[in-house]
Amino acid sequence: MEKFAKDVYRLIGLKLSPRQLRAFRDYERELLTWNEKFNLTAIREVEDIRTKHFLDSLSTLLELKDPAPTTLVDVGTGAGFPGIPLKIALPDLRLTLVESIGKKSEFCRHVVNQLQLDEVEVLTLRAEDVGQQSRYREQFDWAVARAVASLPVLAEYLLPLVRVGGALLAQKGGNAHAEVHAAERSIQLLGGSLRKLSLVTLPGVVDERYLVVVDKKAATPPIYPRRAGMPLKKPL
């Protein structure tokens, strides 16, 4: 964990405490154990988990600061990325994890319990359904997602969950610029405005990674998100 701690500090300037490092170590252990039975992630080597899951998740803190969010929703979280690493790094964060696949959401609940993380809610629901519930609609400072869908689709999943004045953050690969261009109409229609697209370089990783930040400028029209499956079938 020493190298991981140094990489976190070099990338985002965050010094993890011994308690936080133990939480990441326990998270790693549970991920490896569950992965023997369930296909939670294709990344199975320890160093890759620490860099491509943990550090990659924490790279969002390059944008999630000044001030840090109070409430955050992670849509399509899978095995808890980036939401659970962010909760470990930001203990006061009120976190909601959305994952429609039962085994993955079950794993997230297990990890939350094992790590004794408070103020974390795990929803086994589709993003479209969450976005139409008054309890969650336009309630979050930030909505984040990693490797879930193309940006035109992702905007319809995330922006309905963000309060006006909040923001969307999408972690994207080398096609980020093209996705941003393709999503211009949907972002505007859903009440958003592109703030920035920034490159992130992870140690030992050659693939390009980008953070896309979209500000929520106006309320999302009530008809969005459309019913489950429609955003993917017919992107805006």
- pLDDT of 135-185, one tens digit each? 999 999 999 999 889 999 999 999 999 999 999 999 999 999 999 999 999
Identity (one letter) of the amino acid at 26? D
The pTM for the full model equals: 0.95
Cα–Cα distance measured from residue 13 to residue 15, given in angstroms and rounded to the nearest whole number = 7
Residue 49 located in a structural domain: no
Residue 37 located in a structural domain: no
66: three-class secondary structure by DSSP: coil
pLDDT at 65 over 90: no
Residue 78 located in a structural domain: yes
Q: What's the number of domains the chain is made of?
A: 1
Residue 24 located in a structural domain: no
Contact 142, 64 (CB under 8 A): yes
Contact 63, 152 (CB under 8 A): no
Q: What is the pLDDT of residue 43?
A: 80
Q: Edge to edge, what strands does the sheet with 71-75 contain?
A: 120-123, 94-98, 71-75, 140-146, 162-172, 209-216, 192-200
CATH classification at residue 148: 3.40.50.150
Domain hosting 134: range is: 60-233
| CA of residue 193 relative to chain centroid, distance | 19
* Confidence band for 234, pLDDT divided at 50, 70 and 90: very high
pLDDT at 37 over 90: no
